[in-house]
Structure 1
Amino acid sequence: MKFQPDAATSYSIHSYGEGWIRINGERYNNSLLLSSTEGVLAWDCPSFEDLSETHFSELKRFQPELVLFGSGNRLRFPHPRWLQGLYAQRIGVETMDTSAACRTFNFLVGEGRNVVAALLLESGKP
């Protein structure tokens, strides 16, 4: 799907498809973190099955008001215990499939929100 972003002063997702995402004109093919203030960072989590508490703990350093967790090609929820460190710092977490997380990220950035998207990019998985 291709987006027509509003005039953005931050990072925005221009388009995405199965196993890839285009952010500010650059294409990525691996899972990533996208901060509205710091940009794109690699996220060493190739699949949902590889997730652990450590993957969510590293998101605290961004101090976002909200984390969008894109769980891949379909909606899957992380273990609640893995999110406790974020909740303890009053950081909200919303889980959705990665395509919905992409759309939501752009919307929230357009509102000027401090948000981080943790996006699993999977290819060929249902």
Structure 2
Amino acid sequence: MRLNEIDYGNARPIEGYGPGFFRIGSDVHHGAVLVTADAAEPWGGYEDLETALTLSGHVDVLFVGTGQTMTAIPKALRDRLEAAGIGVEPMATDAACRTFNVLLSEGRRVAAALLPV
């Protein structure tokens, strides 16, 4: 099997995660986090709509990591983000991390709002 190095350019991938933390671009973040290609900041969870809305016009899709298992996200959150032009894809946090990295490596305009595992 041939393995290829992934070139993220200047983007900061999610390098790892564990109980209550994420490692993004060599920095460790504790608790829920909002990640874009060039930044990671604390996220207040489903109630923190304003932080997620700052992504409008900058990303096409937001992967919402819902924790250890995939669960539905609040309809109001989904509706407001979609009204702002942001596609919303909820999935388990581990899947959201992997999907974010794959699309980031393709140069896509993606972000991830992640609840810790």
Would you call these one fold, judging by a TM-score over 0.5?
A: yes
Partner of 1:77: 72
Q: 1: distance between equivalents of 2:34 and 2:101?
A: 14
SS in 2 for 1:108: helix
Q: Which residue of 1 aligns with 2:39?
A: 39
Structure 1, unmatched stretches of 5+, are 46-50
Cα RMSD for the two superposed structures: 1.8
1:18 aligns with 2:12: no
Counterpart residue number, 1:6? 6
Amino acid aligned to 1:60: L
Cα 1:67/1:5, change in 2 over 3 Å: farther
Question: How many residues of Structure 1 are paired with residues of Structure 2 in the alignment?
Answer: 111
How far apart are residue 81 of structure 1 and its match?
2.2
Partner of 2:98: 103
Q: What percent identity do the matched residue pairs reach?
A: 31
8 Å Cα contact 2:60-2:109 kept in structure 1: yes
How far off is 1:70 after superposition?
Answer: 0.2
Is the 8 Å Cα contact of residues 32 and 43 (structure 2) preserved in structure 1? Answer: yes
1:116 aligns with 2:111: yes
Residues 16-73 of structure 1 show CA distances to partners (whole Å, capped at 9, x for unaligned) of: 223222111122221100012x41111123xxxxx33xx2343121221000000011
Deviations 1:85-117 (A, max 9, x none): 211122110000111000001001011111110
Aligned to 1:65: 60
**Can you give the 5+ residue segments of structure 2 that lack an aligned partner in the other structure?**
none
